[in-house]
């Protein structure tokens, strides 16, 4: 059984990414063969265009940022416990075979499948012009999955549609070319009970500019936590923990006993939100303490990180070439390009 998933380097990872996705990828690395990659080709579809410069958080997503976020993503994943002995970690663009497979798949992909995909549809509905890259994004994603004979793909609910498209494309390819070229993957929907709220109480997301970055200096982290929106109940009054984002976030880090203790303090009155935020800050520092240390060490040793990505790409390419050869042969092309002989 091969588990595979990809994550886009379109910004610095935040608490929502960790509790909603990364934590679960890491949990799956032990019992299965696991391939995880940083989807930099996909991220290209969101590099700022002149007509869509982000208005929410002034930071622009430029090609220089792409390289920075890609490396950051590798550092973050490794610091958080992704173990290169157990899982294969690589950059999507280090395996260019995936773009060739994308073309082969594109030739059997029906337009209506892509027209109903939400990333493209949302843009179109909002009157924003879409590029062909955004429109065909699900085909690249299908190639990511099919290139490695992946069986299980852990993803958030919003990506399940793309796995269904992947299965449709794989089946159609197998049927048209009358060969069992591709393995049909299954989506494994990540536990979304951890829908992490952001600073303003909405879902934490880069697009809303309300994130708490995973790795920041302690001082900045504290400052960010202090910005979490709370109501205006006076310090002395009792407060409802269940309707407070600070408490919801605290639950991610604390065991049941700790949660009960803080909830009791909310209900008793006499505790201001500033104090609750300080408790959250301490809990987060403790929770991510080891990861902070590991990340610092890795950041001082980027050669090792590069070696891990290089070795990962090597393993991924070996598997990818084998599958691409099957696909090329099935469509009547030479099994391998001349340059690889």
Active site residues: 123, 203, 206
Minimum CB distance to ligand TRP smaller for 47 or for 299: 47
**Nearest to residue 41, comparing CAs of 78, 90, 114?**
90
Task: Please count the residues of this chain forming the interface with ligand ADP, following the rule CB under 6 A.
Answer: 16
**CA-closest candidate to residue 37, choices 320, 289, 322:** 320
Q: Which residue has the tokens 């080891």?
A: 290
Considering beta carbons, is residue 44 or 254 the nearer one to ligand TRP?
44
CA 18 to chain centre: 9
Q: Interacting stretch for ligand ADP, rule CB under 6 A, among 117-125, 169-177, 189-197, 333-341?
A: 189-197
> Out of ligand ADP, ligand TRP, none, which partner does residue 17 contact, by CB within 5 to 8 A per kind?
ligand ADP
The least CB distance from residue 174 to ligand ADP, in Å, is 28
Q: Where are the alpha helices (DSSP H) in the chain?
A: 15-17, 23-28, 40-43, 63-79, 97-106, 111-115, 118-125, 132-135, 137-146, 160-176, 218-226, 245-253, 256-268, 273-299, 302-330
How many CB atoms lie under 10 A from the CB of residue 334?
Answer: 11
Enter the tokens of residue 159: 């990506």
Q: Are 109 and 139 in contact (CB under 8 A)?
A: yes
CB of 203 to ligand ADP, least distance (A): 5
Please answer whether residues 48 and 276 qualify as being in contact, where contact means their C-beta atoms are separated by less than 8 angstroms: no
* DSSP state for residue 22 in the 8-state scheme: I
**Min CB(322)–ligand ADP separation in Å:** 28
Q: What stretch of H or E contains 91?
A: strand 87-91
From ligand ADP, ligand TRP, none, interface partner of 244 (C-beta below 5 to 8 A by class) = none
Report what 3 binds from ligand ADP, ligand TRP, none; CB cut-off 5-8 Å by kind: none
Q: Which residue's CB atom is positioned nearest to ligand TRP?
A: 6
Residues 124-163 contacting ligand ADP, CB under 6 A? 156
User: Which residue, 136 or 159, has its beta carbon nearer to ligand TRP?
Assistant: 159
Residue 39 touches which member of ligand TRP, ligand ADP, none, C-beta under 5-8 Å by kind:
ligand TRP
Cα distances (angstroms) measured from residue 161 to each of 30, 140, 273: 27, 14, 40
Measured over the CA atoms of residue 330, residue 334, residue 337 and residue 341, the dihedral's sign is positive
Of the pair 38, 101, the CB lying nearest ligand ADP is at 38
Angle, in degrees to the nearest 10, between helices 273-299 and 218-226: 150
Binding to ligand TRP, residues 25-44 (CB under 6 A): 39, 42
Number of residues that bind ligand TRP (CB under 6 A): 12
Distance from C-alpha of 240 to C-alpha of 233, rounded to nearest angstrom:
10
> Mask of contacts with ligand TRP, 143-172, x by CB under 6 A?
-xx-------x-x---x-------------
207 binds ligand ADP (CB under 6 A): yes
Using CB under 6 A as the binding rule, whether residue 196 contacts ligand TRP is answered as no
Neighbours of 105 (CB within 10 A): 24
Is position 118 an interface residue for ligand ADP (rule: CB under 6 A)? Answer: no
Window 18-57: contact mask with ligand ADP (x via CB under 6 A): -xxx------------------------------------
Judged by the rule CB under 6 A, the positions of this chain that interact with ligand TRP are 4-6, 8, 39, 42, 141, 144-145, 153, 155, 159
Judged by the rule CB under 6 A, the positions of this chain that interact with ligand ADP are 7-8, 16-17, 19-21, 156, 194-196, 203-207
């Amino acid at each position: 059984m091969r588990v595979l998933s990809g994550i886009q380097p379109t910004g610095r990872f935040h608490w929502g990414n960790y509790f909603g996705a990364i934590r679960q990828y890491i949990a799956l690395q032990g019992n299965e063969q696991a391939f995880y990659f940083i989807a930099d080709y996909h991220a290209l579809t969101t590099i700022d265009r002149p007509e869509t410069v982000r208005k929410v958080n002034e930071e622009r997503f430029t090609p220089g940022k792409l390289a920075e976020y890609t490396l950051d993503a590798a550092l973050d994943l490794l610091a958080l416990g992704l173990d290169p002995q157990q899982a294969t970690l690589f950059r999507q663009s280090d395996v260019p075979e995936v773009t060739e497979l994308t073309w082969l798949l594109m030739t059997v992909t029906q337009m209506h499948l892509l027209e109903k995909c939400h990333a493209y549809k949302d843009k179109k509905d909002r009157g924003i012009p879409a590029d062909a890259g955004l429109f065909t994004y699900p085909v690249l994603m299908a190639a990511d999955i099919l290139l490695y004979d992946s069986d299980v793909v852990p993803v958030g609910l919003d990506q399940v549609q793309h796995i269904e498209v992947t299965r449709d494309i794989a089946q159609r390819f197998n049927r048209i070319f009358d060969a069992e070229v591709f393995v049909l993957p299954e989506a494994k929907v990540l536990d979304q009970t951890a829908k992490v709220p952001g600073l303003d109480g909405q879902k934490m997301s880069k697009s809303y500019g309300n994130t708490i970055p995973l790795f920041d200096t302690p001082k900045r982290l504290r400052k960010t936590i202090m910005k979490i929106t709370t109501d205006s109940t006076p310090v002395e009054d009792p407060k409802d923990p269940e309707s407070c984002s600070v408490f919801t976030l605290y639950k991610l880090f604390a065991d049941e006993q700790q949660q009960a203790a803080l909830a009791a303090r909310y209900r008793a009155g006499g505790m201001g939100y500033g104090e609750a935020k300080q408790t959250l800050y301490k809990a987060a520092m403790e929770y991510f303490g080891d990861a902070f240390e590991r990340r610092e060490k890795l950041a001082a040793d980027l050669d090792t990180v590069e070696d891990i990505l290089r070795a990962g790409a090597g393993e991924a390419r070996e598997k990818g070439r084998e599958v691409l050869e099957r696909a090329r042969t099935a469509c009547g092309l030479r099994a391998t390009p001349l340059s690889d002989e």
